[in-house]
Amino acid sequence: MKSRVWKYFEQSADKKNAMCKECNAHLKLQKDGSTKALLNHLRNQHKLLCSESESRSSTSAPAQVPTANDPEGSSTVREQSTVPVPLKQMRITGSFAPVAVSPTSQASSSKVKPSLSSALVSRLDEAAIKAIIQDGRSFGDFRKKGMQGFLQAILPGYMGPRRQKVTDRVDSLFEEKVAMLKVRLEAPTVVNFTTDLWTDRTNMAYMIITCHFANESFQVESTTLDFIHFTERHTAEAIAHAFVQCLQKYGLYDKFGKCTTDQGSNIVRAGKICDRMQRLSCLGHILHLVVCHGSGLWEATDSSADGVNGDSSTECNESEDEDDCTEWAEEFRTLPLSSEGTKKIASAITKIRRTAKLFRRSTRAADAFRRDAEADTLLPLDVKTRWSSTYSMLRVYLQRYPDVDRTLCQLIQDATSDAEIKQLRSVFLRQEEKEVAGTLLAILRQFADATEMLSGQNYPTANIAYIVLYGLRQFLSAEDVNDTDRFLRRRLLEQLNKYTFESTTFNILFYKTAAFLDNTIIASPHLNLGDMLDVQNHLKNEVAWSIEQETEGSAIQEATSNSGAGASSTDEDDCSSTVSAVNEGSKFLKFCQSSGITTRESNFNAIRSSARGDTTKKEARRKAADQLSLYRSLAQQSFRLSTSDFWSQNSANLPELAELAKLYLSAPATSVPSECAFSAAGFLKRKERCSLSSASLEKLMFLRDKFD
């Protein structure tokens, strides 16, 4: 007989789960068909008491008790005893026994919970899982006490997805989105990448790969391609192998454009190992080297300048690769004090850094500063791996200099020893040092603005990279009456030229070409005549090569079709005689070549092949020159159009240039997409989620930008 318990539950289609009609809770059914779990749910959650025998159908015979007159118990029915309960405090529910209801819960029990359909619950669960993935929530967030109260307030009866359901859905979503991304990446003809390495709190290494391409409308699209967990040491060979596997997985091996990375030695070597990995140096890291080497941010004046207590202030962020931090820190530590100007800068920065550390390490100094500044925040402290942290430290220090000065004076008055007074006085900035810090801040502000422009993710950055570098060079070339300003500009200009314009490894021509292919920039004065000539010669070769490849492919296809048609139109005897004649002729030519004899036919073939090749190259270069001339004319007429609209409208007239524009205009100038992904990964792998597995982290990082 079917249990009466199904009056309160609805069985799923696969008969593995049941949903309570009272609260929409999902319960797993036992394999033997027992309804004990369902009965316990009714008893504990809804105060409906019943037993297995009481829950059976009313058509079943009642239990009989044997007596003296009726030993078999066939005619006497056992009477059930119940505790008498007032009628007002009883709730009768079908075949279930009456349950006493307390007066305090009587009012709430009169409210009937709304019944939610399975379709609505599924839709709400899907939205909740999407929120968990996008916001980096834990899988059991919706089952926590506070969230349950919120859900019951806005939609009574909805409980949210369980942890296991979220885990299963993340796995299925990962497979679905990977398949969709493979289809999406079939359309673009060229794809650019960024990649970087990251180590989490538990020293587990990961590699991120992001892809960037222009769609048919020349809009740049970006997405996370893969987030890979390294189970072994991340050497150059392992990085190259993982990169190639990712390219083959998505069918992008023959669509590789450029890959923007930092200056890490293992990634640089990986680019040399992988022949497809044409690397671009991240401009953010290039500017970091320029600022640190040019301004002397980490040139210490003495051994005690590293900190108030003599220990080093250098700390690698947990999201940084350990090898890179060590390499950069060692490089900066060995910088010499080359001049008097460098010593002034180092002295001012060292005192500011020691002041920031004093407020962080002394509770008395921190309380005094908060009281004088009437703020809860302290001075930020910089790290060697981020020059922008030094810029932020200088900016906040100079903004709050009166509060800092007042706090130090108060600490000196309250000091109890001469050593403490001497230490506090050593961090006071003299007027000359304050002016040096102000001059340095004004110059670094230009680099901060340049870095912010190049770090954008909602617009192309390769086309503005050369303009930014050109603007920095013009700014640093200007002379000023201030000796410190003149010294800083000259030294930073030397480093900027060293790492960009005069570097043999930095591809400055790539960024010039990207600026040239932007119709809004080509008419600007930043591209001088020499730059224009370099770019046009480069593009002429690129376009001519594309035309040659297309012409040769068409010629081969035509020759193949003609030879096939000719062979099919001849008789079998003629065909066999022709083949034998060709074989004999080939043998004769080989004999002549081996004997050193030059035949008229071989000379004629060589001359004809050379003439055909020269004609093809000349024709290709002529077509390339025509396309460049047409592009310059159209760009000057349409400089008000956006870059994507311009190329969408003129791609038919400039076919080869349009394909090159997809390469140059979609390449990121910095590895910011990878860095931002690591920030998200650090939040996902926070201390509160230390049990998150590496496999789940890989899937969550892949899915985080797939719902936009």
Give 208-261 pLDDT, tens digit per residue.
999 999 999 999 999 999 999 988 888 899 999 999 999 999 999 889 999 999
Comparison of pLDDT for 227 and 599, the residue scoring more: 227
Token pair for 386: 């981020």
What pLDDT, on the 0 to 100 scale, is given for residue 556? 52
- Lookup: tokens for 307: 């900190």
Nearest Cα neighbor of 261 from 241, 293, 236 is: 236
- For tokens 């989105």, the residue is 177
Residues 52 and 39: beta-carbon distance below 8 Å: yes
pLDDT tens column, 441-462? 999 999 999 999 998 888 888 9
Can you say how many angstroms the Cα of residue 664 is from the centroid of all Cα atoms in its chain? Answer: 21
> Residues 354, 305: contact at Cβ < 8 Å?
yes
pLDDT reading at 589 higher than 60? no
Where exactly are the structural domains of the chain?
Answer: 1-58, 118-169, 185-282+671-703, 285-455
Q: In the beta sheet, which residues pair with residue 94?
A: none
How many whole angstroms separate alpha carbon 227 and alpha carbon 197? Answer: 10
- ∠ CA(601), CA(605), CA(610), 5° rounding? 150
Classify residue 6 by its DSSP letter: G
The model's confidence at residue 568, banded by pLDDT at 50, 70 and 90, is very low
- pLDDT, residue 496, reads 94
Extract the tokens encoding 187.
């359309």
HEC states along 392-454?
HHHHHHHHCHHHHHHHHHHHHHCCCCHHHHHHHHCCCCCHHHHHHHHHHHHHHHHHHHHHHHH
Nearest to 383 by CA among 298, 285, 293, 441: 298
User: Cα–Cα distances in Å, from 689 out to 147, 173, 693, 694?
Assistant: 18, 21, 9, 12
- Percent pLDDT > 90 in the chain is 41
Reported as a pLDDT band with limits 50, 70 and 90, residue 702 is very high
Put residue 218 in one of left, alpha, beta given phi > 0 → left and psi -120 to 50 → alpha: left
Q: What is the pLDDT of residue 615?
A: 62
Angle between helical axes of 340-361 and 363-373 (0-180°, round to 10): 100
CA–CA gap between residue 601 and residue 598 (Å, rounded): 9
- 661: tokens are 């524009």
Tally: H helices and E strands in the chain: 25, 10
Residues 6+ apart with CB under 8 A from 162: 26, 140, 143
Q: Which residues neighbour 356 within 8 Å (Cβ) at sequence distance 6 or greater?
A: 378, 379, 380, 381, 393, 397
Neighbours of 372 (CB within 10 A): 18
Check pLDDT > 80 for residue 577. no
Of residues 651 and 568, more confidence is placed in 651
Q: Which of 98, 47, 92, 450 is nearest to 284 (CA)?
A: 450
pLDDT at 340: 73
β 17-20/9-11 pair status: antiparallel
**What tens digit of pLDDT does each residue of 148-198 get?**
999 999 999 999 999 999 999 999 999 999 999 999 999 999 999 999 999
CA dist., res. 662 & res. 212, Å (int): 10
The model's pLDDT over 578-588, given as tens digits with 9 standing for 90+, comes to 334 444 444 43
The per-residue pLDDT for 613 is 55
What is the rounded CA–CA span in Å between residue 535 and residue 513?
A: 6
Residue 451 near residue 469 (C-beta atoms within 8 A)? no
For residue 532, CA distances in Å to 471, 482, 506, 644, 656 come to 17, 36, 19, 22, 19
* Kind plus residue range of the DSSP H or E element containing 544: helix 529-569
Residue found by looking up tokens 């030879």 in the block: 563
Q: What DSSP letter does each residue of 643-656 carry, written as one string? A: HHHHHHHHTTTSHH
Chain segment 425-439, per-residue pLDDT in tens: 999 998 999 999 999
pLDDT bucket at 299, cuts 50 / 70 / 90: low
Quote the CA–CA distance of 427 and 361 in Å, as a whole number: 15
Strands 17-20 and 26-28: antiparallel
φ, ψ for residue 294 (rounded to 5)?
-80, -30
Decide if pLDDT at 58 tops 60.
no
| Euclidean distance between CA atoms 561 and 82, whole angstroms | 97
pLDDT at 533 (0 to 100)? 87
Domain 185-282+671-703, CATH: 3.30.420
Is 90 exceeded by the pLDDT of residue 129?
yes
Please name the residues in contact with 105: beta carbons below 8 A apart, sequence gap of 6 or more.
none
Handedness of CA 254, 258, 261, 264 (dihedral sign): positive
- Give me the helices (H) in 206-310, please: 236-250, 265-273, 283-295
Residue 488: which residues within 8 A CB-CB, separation 6 or more? 294, 295, 341, 345, 439, 440, 443
Of 24-38, 468-482, 663-677, the range with the highest mean pLDDT is: 663-677
The mean per-residue pLDDT over the stretch 413-424 comes to 89
pLDDT confidence tier of residue 339, bands split at 50, 70 and 90: low
Q: What average pLDDT does this structure show over 27-47?
A: 79
Cβ atoms of 520 and 636 within 8 Å: the answer is no
More confident residue, 379 or 95: 379
Instruction: Determine the length of the chain.
Output: 708
